[in-house]
Structure 1
Amino acid sequence: MTIDITGRSASEIAAGLRTRIERGELPPGTLLPPVRTLAAELGVNRNTVVAAYRQLAQAGLVEARGRGGTRVADRAAVAQEGYAPDTVLRDVGTGNPDPALIPDPTAALARSARPVLYGEPVIDPGLEAWARQWMTDQLPHDDTRITVTSGASDAIERLLAQALQRDDAVALEDPCFLSALHTVRTGGYRAVPVPVDAEGMTVEGLRAALAAGIRAVVVTPRAHNPTGASLTADRAAALRAVLAEHPYVLVIEDDHFSLLSRAPLHTVIGPAQRRWARIRSMSKFLGPDTCLAVTASDADTADGLAVRLTPGTTWVSHILQRLTLALVTDEGVRAGIERAAVHYAERNAAFARALTERGVPVSPGDGLNLWVPLPVAAARVREDLMRRGWLVREGDPFFLGDGDHGAFLRLTVHDLDEASARTLADDLARACRVLRADAGSGRIEA
């Protein structure tokens, strides 16, 4: 598709494209000309086109996709976690923890309120002291600083904003956690996909991303969402060795499952790293509405975060901070979190066995969900399961890169009772058998 673009300044180029996008003349997914090509056609400096595309990215009108170029953004709602609000189907694609396993905050809340005034420290001293002990395992740095943000996504957004400029490249796992992908794209950064295998982020993938000029990397050390993969000791050591050659690349370690994880932590943050942060959210074990995460980081990164978390404007509520501290230091609550961890692991493992026995091999991994590889197109399996009363989540939205990445479902099954789990396993296996047979006979495409 040839796009007629005019203008001599960044503002003129951006305004012309914006008008055409808003009128629907350039539909979502339209590939804009490469920067160098457009600059040559218009007879302007390359930086003029970069600035024009940046203005459009800031307005959410285009997305920079690395080697995939700059494309017109889809203004429709992006994929995200949570329930489908208006469905009569049984939703097994939510990504949610079991509400019955989230601790009741009522008693702790009564002990958490006291007036806090402008100018007081942004971090509750008690939470900071507890978090410092909790956050520093395996960190080879003595200058660790603690910051509190409104959840892990808020932390990632602030970390990238204080370290990067728009159009900078960020390495993300592929497939990728939806909120991280959304944060990077809406921030105007270029997402560079790094493949994930059974041991987590791949070494060759990271090495290629570093060669492509990334300035930050987001890594999930365990319970990777959506695949459930956790870094092994050998893989983490290899990733640390690669990152050691790039000490000023910002390394963000998102240990989102932390207290619930059944896998040991193997960090990618080595002693050579100068810009780093580890994030642990409370959302999986205290509930999504907790909206609080703790970040451990180097001093310079912490200073950058502190500028955006100032007293009197953007600090995290001290009531919420003290409530969090009261819950995570309560022996009964911690015992409940451990029971929840065992429950998630056992239910996912049981469902993985059920599918494997029915001819759909699955490895349970770690985390709230199951990542199910399919022998046929995921969209067709989803449609078949909808007819049987199930709402499932396809794997496609989690992938950054183009091309054939295989067919997957991400299922949230830990709250199914035994009978429902058997029914879903039967229905999914039956759908795969029927669709594979139809594909083999030529009645449908695989």
Structure 2
Amino acid sequence: MAESWVDAAERIGVDLHLDPAGPGGRRAALIRALREAVRGGRLPPGTRLPPYRSLAADLGVARNTVADAYAELVAEGWLTARQGSGTRVAMGVPTTPPAQGARARDVRPAGRRPPAEVPSRARGPLHDLRQGTPDASSFPRSAWLASYRRALQEAPHEVFGPGDPAGRRELREALAEYLARARGVRAEPGRIVICSGFAHALRLLFAPGGAVLRGPLAVEGYGLGFHRGLLASAGVRTVPLPLDADGARVERLARERAVLLTPAHQFPTGGPLHANRRTTVIDWARARDALVLEDDYDGEFRYDRKPVGAVQGLDPERVIYLGSVSKSLSPAVRLGWMVLPERYVGAVLAAKGEREAWASVLDQLSLADLIRSGAYDRHVRRMRQRYRGRRDRLVEALAVRAPHVEVTGIAAGLHAVLRLPPGTERSVVEAAARQGVALDGLDAFRHPDGDTAAQDGLVVGYATPAEHAYGAALEALCGILTPGPDPVPVRDPGPAPTPR
């Protein structure tokens, strides 16, 4: 069977059928034809396009005409261009085939005009600004592959047998050193238990029957509903604590058996737990023989403040420290850890079972090597600079386009909270969904029983989009917050420089 033109284009970037006709000159006609080919599904995301010279020769136009058309479509977000990889159709661009005989409309993906329809869940949003996910395109593939190879080559034969439920000793030793150095955690390998992430840790700590911990559990007035649902399914009652500028109001703690906090960067409102409240919560735990569960979900990413150490460092026997690589590396690497008071290690291991059933042993060894080699630190520093650049671009764009919107919670983390006028959150979230922009409203994180005053706002994950798509996502967001006939374009300086 003859190879189709799409297959050929993907294979070597040639044989692209286009019909650049219509008003506006050859450049405008070529831009229109390329957009229609992408939107109609003839050029799927990731397809490599012909070089300038080849396409110009095929179409009988000047090489500069093709170069200018490519550059325009890169700026609009339809295409990406990287040295050594050529020009390709951008990932995430909508590919909705038109109805039979219908002509695809000229609609830009950057939100300058509303799309004809809301993208379906199957295709995903045009612009993903949801919190909780790092830039998937920035995963350190080369470093991870090198560590994986070394781990595989050096692994003893017993690695390929049943896994230790505590986790590989190599990873626990590497984590003990790293957490002490980077987060001020006081730990030794024997007190660390490896798990598959924060949710898995909660399931182990609050397993049905209360083998390890039981409720009631105090939580912050704003947090992930998924975690509250997980606890509720285990029969754990959660008691919300009000929040203010200094974090959770821990002086309200009473007869709860434990409290779950995000002290380095409150999720999702932002800001660290004040030093006085850190001392207060430790004093409460000692007086009540209670526990503090410390969720250090993005503790590595701080920008405009000195590093905030872990609360666990104040009293390792009263704090269970919980962490993972879901923000620093990827949620696809299902690895997390618990640093436990000594008296809880046996109970957690009993809840986990006799064999490791969750976390890949080879992934554990790879992460241990990544940490020991220094590659993990280098990746975190690189991403810290990149995410800070994205945060700054968000703040600058909103200052120009939407000065009425207050941006908070940005000294650390991977998201920002945009404060909205009272009564407007729902309409803004719905408008965003209609225009293919996925983001969360602040109210979605509010505890249903909380007495913290409800505030309208958006939780914007500026780390989620790929680097090439971030400018278009900002444009779409600003277009939603400042609707009008002639929106001011958002300056897109391009990808942040990669530190050496």
2:399 counterpart of 1:399: no
Structure 1 match to 2:300: 259
Aligned residues: 341
Aligned position for 1:98: 135
Give the secondary-structure state (helix, strand or coil) at the position aligned to 2:238.
strand
Distance 1:314 1:420, change over 3 A: closer
Residue type matched to 1:361 in 2? E
- The separation in 2 between residues aligned to 1:244 and 1:429, in whole angstroms, is 51
CA distance in 2, matches of 1:95, 1:143: 28
Please name the residue that 1:129 is paired with: 173
Q: CA deviation at 1:170?
A: 0.8
TM-score by length of 2: 0.62
Q: 1:107 aligns with which of 142, 146, 149?
A: 146
What secondary structure, in the 3-state scheme, does the structure 1 residue paired with 2:332 have?
helix
Rounded to whole Å, the distance in 2 between the matches of 1:182 and 1:236 is 27
| Superimposed CA distance per residue, residues 15-49 of structure 1 (whole angstroms, 9 cap, x where no aligned partner) | xxxxxxxxxxxxxxxxxxxxxxxxxxxxxxxxxxx
Query: Residue 335 of structure 1 corresponds to which residue in structure 2?
Result: 378
Q: Note if 1:305 corresponds to 2:348.
A: yes
When the two chains are superposed, the root-mean-square deviation of aligned CA atoms in Å is 2.9
**1:424 counterpart = 2:477:** yes
Where 1:226 maps in the other structure, the secondary structure is coil
Deviation (angstroms), 1:149: 0.8
Q: Secondary structure at the match of 2:266?
A: coil
Shift of 1:256: 1.4
Unaligned runs of 5+ in 2: 1-119, 485-500
Task: Give the 5 Å matches for 1:222-301.
Answer: 222-246=264-288, 248-262=289-303, 264-269=307-312, 274-301=317-344
Deviation at 1:174, TM superposition (A): 1.5
Find the residue that maps to 2:406 and give its secondary structure: coil
CA distance in structure 1 between the partners assigned to 2:418 and 2:251 by the alignment: 28
Q: Equivalent residue of 1:96, what SS?
A: coil
Please name the residue that 1:163 is paired with: 212
Q: Give the corresponding residue for 2:230.
A: 183
How much has 1:269 moved relative to structure 2? 3.9
Return the offset for 1:399: 0.8
In 1, Cα distance between the equivalents of 2:189 and 2:334? Answer: 26
TM-aligned CA distance change 1:85 to 1:408, over 3 Å:
farther
- CA deviations on 1:240-289 (whole Å, 9 max, x unpaired) are 3343332x212111111133344522443476674421011111122101
Check if 1:373 corresponds to 2:419: yes
Shift of 1:86: 4.2
The residue identity in structure 1 corresponding to 2:382 is: R
Deviation at 1:381, TM superposition (A): 0.9
Amino acid at match of 1:182: G
CA contact (8 A) 2:165 2:355 kept: no
CA shift for structure 1 position 139: 5.0
Could you tell me whether the CA contact under 8 Å between 1:239 and 1:268 is conserved in 2?
Answer: no
Mark the CA change 1:272 to 1:87 in structure 2 (over 3 Å): closer, same or farther. closer
Structure 1 gaps, min length 5: 1-82, 432-446
Tell me, in whole angstroms, the C-alpha distance in 2 between the residues paired with 1:201 and 1:356: 29
Q: For 1:329-376, what per-residue CA distance to the aligned partner results, in whole angstroms no more than 9, with x for missing partners? A: 333442222111122123123313432442111122421111122103
Q: Which residue of 2 aligns with 1:345?
A: 388
Of 217-226 and 348-357, the range deviating more from structure 2:
348-357
In structure 2, the residue matched to 1:172 is 219
Give the distance between the partners of 2:279 and 2:318, measured in 1 at CA: 18
1:231 partner letter: L
Q: What is the Cα deviation at residue 121 of structure 1?
A: 7.2
CA contact (8 A) 2:131 2:459 kept: no
Q: What corresponds to 1:52 in structure 2?
A: none
Deviates more, 1:290-299 or 1:329-338: 329-338
Provide the C-alpha distance between the structure 1 equivalents of 2:168 and 2:131, rounded to a whole number of angstroms.
Answer: 33
**TM-aligned CA distance change 1:89 to 1:101, over 3 Å:** closer
Q: Would the alpha carbon gap of residues 180 and 112 (structure 1) be closer, same or farther in structure 2, given more than 3 Å must change?
A: same
3-state SS in 1 of match to 2:462: coil
- Computing the radius of gyration from Cα coordinates, the structure with the larger value is 2
Match of 2:194 in 1: 148
Decide whether aligned partners of structure 1 residues 265 and 159 sit closer, same or farther in structure 2, where only a CA change above 3 A counts. Answer: farther
Conserved in 2, the CA contact under 8 Å of 1:109 and 1:323?
Answer: yes
Q: CA deviation at 1:189?
A: 0.7
* 1:222–1:230 Cα contact (<8 Å) kept: yes
Question: How far apart in 2 are the matches of 1:427 and 1:121?
Answer: 49
How far residue 192 of structure 1 moved from its aligned partner, in angstroms, is 0.7
Please show how residues 84-95 of structure 1 align to structure 2 within 5 Å: 85-95=122-132
TM-score (norm 1): 0.68
Alignment partners' CA distance in 2, 1:334 and 1:272: 26
8 Å Cα contact 1:244-1:273 kept in structure 2: no
Instruction: Confirm or deny: 8 A CA contact 1:101 1:337 kept in the other structure.
Output: no
